[in-house]
Amino acid sequence: MSTPTAAELRSVVHPEGLLDRRSGEHWAGRIYMRQISLQVTRRIVGTRVTPNGLTYLMILAGIAAGAALILPGIAGPLAALILVQLYLLLDCVDGEVARWRRQTSVTGVYLDRVGHYLSEAALLSGAGLHAAGVLDGGGFNGYATLGVVAALGAILIKSETDLVDGARAKSGLPPVQDAAAVPRSSGAASARKIVASLKFHRLVGAVEASILLLLAGVLDLVADDGGLLYSRIAVTALAAIALLQTVLHLVSVLMSSRLR
């Protein structure tokens, strides 16, 4: 099978509107990763590699990013950042290969969602272990617990979204439309818009969290006192944001028309 040109591939795997989906396409995908993934996909579509196989690799990369954070010093956050970028690349490529081969499936969608759950939970849990300094004799202290709290919050936020579709399906309702996400109350809608504009909720996402953790690791390195002050501030902030966003997102769902 001949390798398709970038233009041929793009017309199929990047359908109109894909890069404009603010709620569905990550900013990193729009800015650079979709350009990189297109070149990787060109070289994969003619092989025996399956879309689901790529999704499994994506999951492994995401979990490995969390595991890498156990490493002390700057090595952990740096390795995590690189692995998260690989995770993001594979998250783009698996769908592109599926669309080119017309092999999209419910199983693929399910694995993709599971991958996002596991990867973000692993990264945030790993952030807590890094801040605790488990390999430096810190043990499983309060910062390790904060990492687990952040991970639980990230899972709950995703669950609150996914459970809308489950609840609607069980009630015989069609899939929810984007417009239904707006709260019915004008005051709540304005508050939601203001909170959304701050973008703080994105920090618990894998890409943003990995960048924050690397920045904290660099600051710890520059401090040159062997401490983990900035990593500990980062994981505390991530746990607080995850908990706050869990509550705000639940309220937003209940006040919108998504369950009607």
| 213-230 residue pLDDT tens | 999 999 999 997 778 999
Task: Please give the pLDDT value at position 29.
Answer: 84
Select 6-255's CATH number: 1.10.760.10, 2.40.340.10, 3.40.50.2300, 1.20.120.1760.
1.20.120.1760
- Given a cut of 80, whether residue 199 has pLDDT beyond it is no
Please determine, for residue 111, whether its predicted confidence score (pLDDT) is greater than 60.
Answer: yes
Q: Closest Cα partner for 235 from 43, 39, 66, 1?
A: 66
**Domain positions in the chain:** 6-255
For the question of whether the overall pTM of this predicted structure is more than 0.95, the answer is no
Q: What share of the chain is helix, strand, coil (3-state, %, to 5)?
A: 75, 0, 25
Distance from C-alpha of 189 to C-alpha of 252, rounded to nearest angstrom: 9
Pick from 200, 175, 201, 183: which is nearest to 256 by CA?
183
- Residues 72 and 242: their CA atoms lie apart, in Å, by 24
By the 8 A CB rule, do 64 and 83 touch? yes
Largest CA distance in the chain: 60
Residues comprising the chain, all counted = 260
